[in-house]
Amino acid sequence: MKTIILSAGQGKRLLPLTAETPKCLLPIQGKKLIEWQIDALFAAGIDRVSVVVGYGADQVERLLTQRYGVGRITLIDNPKFAETDNLVSCWIAREEMNEDFFLLNGDTLFEIAVVRRVLNRAAHPVTVVTAHKSHYDADDMKVTLEGQRLINIGKDLDPEKTDGESVGMILFRGEGPALFRQGLERAMGDPSSSRKWYLSVIRDLCPTMKVWTCSIEGLRSCEVDYPADLKSAAHMVSACACAEESVAECR
């Protein structure tokens, strides 16, 4: 099993923190954001990780080489990161989508149990990982559901008719990788695709009944978009560390 992490962007909403440092290298409780992601993936049994880089690519490569060794993490360069959105990053990484894989946003933190739950419960070609909260705003990637099947996804959905939000993680299994690659190819035929999110491809797949969801209710995840999110992320990783220590003491 492999994971593709989309970490090409600068993270302008985190300026000035990202003026010279890419978002994925921001420190959180003694480690960089991307280190928390990769360590959790490895701990959950994901043995291969590819990272799409762009802004500060040399910094990311240096950190990953120092931490995990030469060649352990595959780097994929998106030279158009400054003028495109993450659909193009996915297109550039499409050759890696040749088997079952997770697609992960570069700003999503999660506890190890999240990956384990999705692997154990998700059996459909495409599974969007979701969370739930009491209210949603314009910046949330909202979802509407029919049972566990995904009906629609987007920031433009009516908050009052929303059933949850995407946490920035999708599992593709079986025919799922091929379906996604085909969707990317169709999307890239549109001149406006350079400014689209890859979730527009997932939205187009919804009518095929191939797209389902997996809720991580009761588990921890966090998206890092704004400076205040760094505090939430620090609290989350601290809580996860305390929980892991408690479990270890009980063994």
* pLDDT, tens digit, 9 for 90 and up, residues 128-166: 999 998 889 888 999 999 999 999 999 999 998 899 999
Q: What pLDDT is stored for residue 249 in this prediction?
A: 35
How many angstroms separate the CA atoms of 130 and 209, rounded? 17
Q: What pLDDT is stored for residue 112 in this prediction?
A: 95
Token pair recorded at residue 5: 């992490």
247, pLDDT greater than 50: no
- Per cent of the chain over pLDDT 70 is 96
First-to-final CA distance of the chain: 28
**Cβ–Cβ < 8 Å for 208, 179:** yes
* Residue 6 DSSP label: E
* Residue 56 DSSP label: B
Total count of residues recorded for the chain: 251
Spatial CA neighbour of 101 closest among 53, 167, 43, 49: 49
Q: What pLDDT is stored for residue 250 in this prediction?
A: 30
Please provide the average confidence, as pLDDT, over all residues in the chain. 92
Token pair recorded at residue 23: 């978002």
DSSP-H helix ranges across the chain = 33-43, 57-68, 86-92, 112-121, 176-188, 199-205, 227-250
Asked which of 3-7, 170-174, 205-209, 237-241 is least confident by mean pLDDT, the reply is 237-241
Confidence class of residue 191 from pLDDT cuts 50, 70 and 90? confident
**Cβ–Cβ < 8 Å for 198, 90:** yes
Q: What pLDDT is stored for residue 240 in this prediction?
A: 78
**Cβ–Cβ < 8 Å for 55, 7:** no
> What phi and psi values does residue 161 have, to the nearest 5 degrees?
-120, 25
**Cβ–Cβ < 8 Å for 114, 215:** no
The residue among 241 and 25 whose pLDDT is bigger is 25
